[in-house]
Amino acid sequence: MSLPPSLQLFPPRSWPGHVLGVLALLLGLLASAPAWAASDMAEFEKARAAYVSKNYEDCETRLHALLDPDNPRLKDPVLIGQARMYYGAALVQRGKNAEAQKTFEALLLGDPQYDPDPLTFSGPVLEVFYDTRQQLRERLAAKAQEDARKAAEKRAQEEEEKKKEAARVKRLMELATEEHITSRSSRFVASLPFGIGQFQNRQPALGFILLGAEAALVLGAVVTIPMRIDADDSANAELLRGNATKANDYHTRALNITYANWAFVGAFAFTAAVGILQAHISFVPEFRERRTRPLPPLGKLAPYLVPSTNGGQLGLSGAF
């Protein structure tokens, strides 16, 4: 709903009229820029004149407006440095040394080589300025040292991370090329004779000694059995012939062979018991072995194209 023409504050305009209005506004702003710059320069000259005439309050007010951080009006870096110097000097003259130090810090951060004119500014102003410059240099030096320390720590941390990454890759390579096998030992196997428990405990020398000794004792016990039987048979044959003397000799031989058999069996039992006891004392529940294996080959990919009635099929094939 539109208002009658008599009640409209601004009559409607077509879009060409709006465009022309905007252009006119921009041209007006551009034309007024040099005038603003000249006005700011004139304002700075007024502030300097106020300082020379010792009207420090007026100087402070004018320069504060020119150097307002929310709406800075000065653009030339040299003019900004001069304005900050006069502004800080006016603050010192009015007893605002803390604010003056902040202004001088901003001046020196923008122009570290700035040196005030000793004929223009009084001794107290120069004293505050030089104290501020010295403190700022110390802070900048400390900051530079702190930055260097942090950079060194960062480099050291990066080197440490590189070393950790290299160690991790090396460990991964070792895991990829090594195979760990765990073999569990058995108490039942440790209870077997002939050095079997020693072989299980990875004591091959002792195992071979017990194997040889117990095998010799078993062989002796087995060999004496037919010998005893043969002696008994000979003794019975001589008794049938009526030769008691020879029969008694064969009987004595049979008894001696029996004693020898018992000695072999007893020695075998004793040796086996000692071997089994040693196997249990030295028992190891499990053994871990590490075996080296080659790295698996990298997969190979190859493109393929299969023609079809619809045009074809493109893809990748590979082996891993």
pLDDT of residue 29: 44
Residues 101 and 44 in one domain: yes
Residue 292 resides in a domain:
no
pLDDT of residue 155: 93
- CA pair distance 89, 101, nearest whole angstrom: 10
pLDDT of residue 228: 87
Residue 29 resides in a domain:
no
Q: Among 143, 161, 195, where does a domain finish?
A: 143
pLDDT of residue 196: 92
Residues 105 and 194 in one domain: no
Residues 130 and 214 in one domain: no
pLDDT of residue 24: 52
Residues 42 and 122 in one domain: yes
- Per-residue pLDDT tens digits for 220-258: 889 989 998 998 888 888 888 888 888 888 889 888 999
pLDDT of residue 208: 94
Residue 302 resides in a domain:
no
Residues 45 and 131 in one domain: yes
Residue 119 resides in a domain:
yes
Instruction: Please check whether residue 186 is in contact with residue 284, taking contact to mean a CB–CB distance below 8 angstroms.
Output: no
Give the CATH number for residue 75: 1.25.40.10
What's the half-sphere exposure (Cβ side, CA atoms, 13 Å) at 294? 3
pLDDT of residue 33: 43
pLDDT along the chain (320 residues), means of 10: 43 48 50 55 89 91 87 84 91 91 89 88 92 88 86 92 90 76 87 90 90 92 90 85 84 90 93 92 85 66 65 60
Residues 134 and 197 in one domain: no
Residue 54: domain span:
36-143
pLDDT of residue 306: 66
Residues 131 and 209 in one domain: no
Residue 293 resides in a domain:
no
- CA pair distance 190, 239, nearest whole angstrom: 50
Residues 128 and 202 in one domain: no
Residues 135 and 194 in one domain: no
pLDDT of residue 66: 87
Residue 181 resides in a domain:
no
Distance of CA 297 to the CA centre of its chain: 28
pLDDT of residue 316: 59
Residues 274 and 211 in one domain: yes
Biggest distance spanned by C-alpha atoms of the chain: 172
Q: How many domains is the chain built from?
A: 2
Residues 103 and 196 in one domain: no
Residues 100 and 192 in one domain: no
Residue 319 resides in a domain:
no
Burial 135-158 (b: 16+ CB within 10 A, else e): ebeeeeeeeeeeeeeeeeeeeeee
Residue 243 resides in a domain:
yes
Q: Among 143, 178, 207, where does a domain finish?
A: 143
17 burial type by CB count under 10 A (0-12 exposed, 13-18 middle, 19+ buried):
exposed
Q: Parallel, antiparallel, or unpaired for β 313-319 and 300-306? A: antiparallel
CB contact set of 229 (below 8 Å; sequence gap of 6+): none
Tell me which amino acid residue 289 is: E
